[in-house]
Structure formats: C-alpha cells, structure tokens
Amino acid sequence: MVVLSFAAVGIHGRDSFAPVRGLVTIGAFLLCSTALAQPSSTFRDLLPDLADKIASTLGASARASLAPTSDEQSARDVERDLATLLTARGLRIATDAASPSIAVSCGENLRERACVAEIRRGEVRDIVSATKALPVHHAHDGDVARAVAIEATPLFAQRARILDVLTIDERLVVLDTAGVAVYRRANDEWQPIASRAIEPPRIWPRDVRGRLRLAGSALEALLPGVVCRTTPALTNFACTDEREPWPLAVENAGLDSLRNTFQTPEGTPFFSAASLDPAAGARTVIVDLTHSLVLMDESRTPVATIGTADDVASVAAPCRSGAYIVTSAGMPGTSADALRLWRLESRTAIQAATPVTVPGRVMALWSTAGARIATAIVRDTDGDRYAAFQIRISCNR
C-alpha cells in the first residue's frame, strides 16, 4: 500500500503528521494495490474515471497540487498518470501549497479495485472514487484454495563460479568472478556472444558475491568494492574501485571488498534481504548474521523473527495476492540445500509449498525487479559446477 500524502513514518514506527494547515491545500493519495510490487498499470484503468470526478469537483481550469509522500515507484507512476489525465481535462497542476491539494490512494479490497481521492480546499474535504469490481471467481467443487508450488527452472551452468545471471530480452548475461559474459539462445542452448574480463584482476573475498543490475540502458556489475559499468552488449566495459548500494530491499552501502555482508544505515549487518507485500505486516525481511529471518518495518526496526535461512528472496504468486518469500537453507543430513516457499501473513510465516531440493548449495538467491521471480545460483559439489535457476511460484491449473 503506497500513500502519497502527509503520512510520514517517524522514529520507532510512530506516525508523525506534518499538516499543512491554514492553507487551501489538497493532498493527493495514491492507493496502490495490496501487492507491493504491482505496477501502476493495475489501476491505470481507474484513473480516467477518477480524473473526471476530480475535474468535475474542482471545475475546469482549476489549479491543484499533488503531494506524494511515498518513494514507491508505483505510487509515482499513479501520480504521473493522474497528473497527465487531469491536465488533459484542463486542470493545472501546481506545486504551491496555496492550491487545492489532491490526495489519491489506490488499492484493492476483496471485491474491487479502487482509487479514492480526497480533495481538500481549506476546511472543505470532498471524496471521489473510481472502483471496478474484481472478477468473482467461483471455485470448482473440492477446491479449497489455489495451491502454489515452487517452480525452479534451470537457466545456465558452468564450471566457473556464477555470481548472478540476468535475462535481457532473449539474452542471458552471466556475471562470474572473472567477468561478464552475454549469451544468446540458439538451438536450445546458450551460445556466447560477448564477454569482458574484470581488469585488473582482483583478489575477491572467500565468499564472493556479485550482482547484475540493469539501470535503463546501462548494465552494472556490482562486486565487493568494485563496480563495472557497461551496456547489455558489453560495450564500454569499465570497472572502478568503488562501493555502490546494491539493489536490495534494504538501503545499504554496498559490499565491502573484504566482506560478504551488507549493512543497513543503522549498522545492522545482513546477508540477504527481500521486500515484502504489506500483507506480511512488515516492509522487508533480512537474514542476519545468525541466519535469522528478521522482519523489519518501514523504519528498519526489527519487528519479528520468523525462522532461519541462508538466503531470502521475494517472489509473487501470479494466482493470488499475498507476501511470498523463498528461502534457502541446508537439508539436515545432506550436502544439498532446499528452497522453501513461505507466505507471510501478519508477521507469521506459513510454509506455502513443498520444499524443493536443489543439487548442491545455494550460493546466491536474488530477487528480481518486480519480484515475480528470483534467481538462485547453486553449486553442485559433486559435479563441481555452478548452475543458475529461475525460481517462480507455480499455481495449479
């Protein structure tokens, strides 16, 4: 749930309200869907109707301001789309506090998807909404709930240690300790098309970790103390000794060149992190140095410990909403790891599917943008190979 308006989370989770009083302001709330990672397109169909009602309330040629308070991408998308629609209807989007303010909140309840706007003009507050009923699905007899399962799809394997893989269109980018390589799918197999070495060669920590990130048209390879920048075609490949925050669910300062852990701004070290749907009752989950799965709220305050794991990544179920995470941990008595799927509800973890045993140790487990899938890097100790898997949630057909 994303809110663009006055709500600001203060210290220790207590809400602090910074009102804009005495002014004719209208706060804009954007209600996002209950699934945190749902893109703004989920509510885009509601925005025109909402814009019509807002325009009808304010009148043509009126000025209004939108005051987002959330940094969520989806919330910004809604704000941007609504601003476009309101402009098209003759309203002028202002930034001054004297104008009426519009607060929009988009979300989904059990019956419908809705966007609600509060229009504040001084002490007068109007409410307009646009809703669309969710399709009422009548489950077949015998169905109790849509069952989910972990689906692990192998992507790639090699002898060299894989740190991360990234699929861009039909291509596969592979980051290992030596460098970055790009493959193309042909004849049911991956064929290399380019590779770049990380120069000069570095001495990596024993447990080296790496991450690929696509930022617009740029491709970044994040390693301990090193950032390599290139393009998806690996042009202009250059590596510099620097630390950048890694694309994790928690703010961090990147990976130290001699360490395998990250740190929150508060100094809490962690191995892995994943963002959570609001249904989980927390904002993020981290794996701390004791391998505890710790839920944290918006202020990065630990609020619950739900178990233990080596790594965690968030995934989304295509067939149902809710907060899902995948964790990796060892299987007692074996040298293999297992992937477990958990559904988080009100800070309680419920195992949502049968664990999946992987052929080796999970060396890395990364969420992808959008959180629909995760990437697992497994080391097969017997075969002395590294394999990359795409992890997603499969729903029953």
Partner 1 sequence: MTLRTRLFALVGAVVALTDILVTATVASSARRAFAAVDDQRTAVLVTQVRREFVSEGEQVAQRLERVASSDEVVRLAADLGRSKTNAAAYVGAAAPLAASQGLDFLDLVSEQGTIISSAHAPARFGYRHPWLPPGATSMPESESVFLQRVEFPNDVALGVVATRSIPAGDGRILLVGGRRLDERFLKTLVLPAGTRVLLYRDVEPEITHRQLVDASGVVADVQPFEPLIARVRQTRQDARAQIAGSSDTESVAAVPLAGPDGAVRGVLLVASSGRELASLVNRIRWSGLLFGALGLVVGCGLSYIVAARVTRPVEELADAARAVAAGRWDVQVHADESSGEVGALARAFRTMTEQLADQRDRLVQAERVAAWRELARRLAHELKNPLFPLRITVDNLTRAKSLTPAEFDEVFEESVGTLTTGLANLNAVIGRFSDFARMPMPQIADLSPNDVAQRAVKLFHAQLASGERPPIHLTMDLDPSVGRIEADGEQLGRALTNLLVNAIDAMPQGGELTIRTRRANGGVRFEVSDTGQGLTEEERQRLFTPYYTTKQHGTGLGLAIVQSVVADHHGRIWVDSEPGRGTTFHIELNRT
Partner 2 sequence: MLPFRFASPAIVNAFCVVVCVASLIATPTAARPQYGGTLRVSAHASIRSLDPGAAITDRSEAVLSARMRPLVFETLVEVDAAGGLRPVLAESWESDAAGARWRFRLRPGVTLHDGSPLEAWKIAAALRTTATAWTVSTDGEAVVVEPARPERDLAWALADPRHAIAVRRSAAELVGSGPFRIDRLESGRALLKAHDAYWAGRPFVDSVQVDFQRSPRVQLADFESGRADIVELQPSDVRRVTERGLRVAATRSIDLLVLVFESNRAEAASEPARRLFAGALDRSTIASVLLQGRAEPARSLLPSWLSGYSPELVASTVPRPTRTTVMALPAAQRTLTLRVDPADAVAHSIADRIAEDAREVGFTVTVQAPTGLAPRPDVRLVRAALASTSPDRSLLQLGAELGSRTLSAATPGPVLTAGASLDTVVRFERAVLGGFVVIPVVRMPELFGVGDAVDISEGEAVDPTGRWNFANLWIRSSTRARP
Residues between 248 and 277 with contacts to partner 2, criterion CB under 8 A: none
Q: What's the rounded Cα separation, in Å, for the pair 142 and 288?
A: 41
Q: Per-residue string for binding with partner 2, 56-95, x by CB under 8 A?
A: ----------------------------------------
Q: Give the one residue of 236, 289, 351, 370 binding partner 2; rule: CB under 8 A.
A: 351
Whichever of 177 and 305 has its CB closer to partner 1, that residue is 305
Q: Give the one residue of 302, 307, 355, 359 binding partner 1; rule: CB under 8 A.
A: 302
User: CA–CA distance from 334 to each of 331, 340, 361 (Å)?
Assistant: 6, 16, 10
Q: What is the DSSP letter of 76?
A: H
When asked if residue 305 is in the footprint of partner 1 (CB under 8 A), the reply is: yes
CB of 145 to partner 2, least distance (A): 5
Sign, CA torsion 170/39/209/331: negative
CB of 176 to partner 1, least distance (A): 32
Helix pair 73-88, 47-58: axis angle to 10 deg: 50
Q: What's the rounded Cα separation, in Å, for the pair 129 and 104?
A: 9
Whichever of 290 and 334 has its CB closer to partner 1, that residue is 290
Q: What's the rounded Cα separation, in Å, for the pair 231 and 214?
A: 9
CB-based contact 115:50 (threshold 8 Å): yes
Q: Give the one residue of 97, 98, 127, 186 binding partner 2; rule: CB under 8 A.
A: 127
Strand ranges across the sheet with 63-66: 92-94, 63-66, 101-108, 112-121, 124-133
Q: Give the one residue of 229, 303, 310, 372 binding partner 2; rule: CB under 8 A.
A: 303
Please choose, out of 35-43, 188-196, 286-294, 337-345, the segment that lies near partner 1 by the rule CB under 8 A: 286-294
CB of 274 to partner 2, least distance (A): 17
Neighbours of 243 (CB within 10 A): 16
Whichever of 6 and 204 has its CB closer to partner 2, that residue is 6
Binding residues for partner 1, per CB under 8 A? 268, 288-290, 292, 294, 301-305
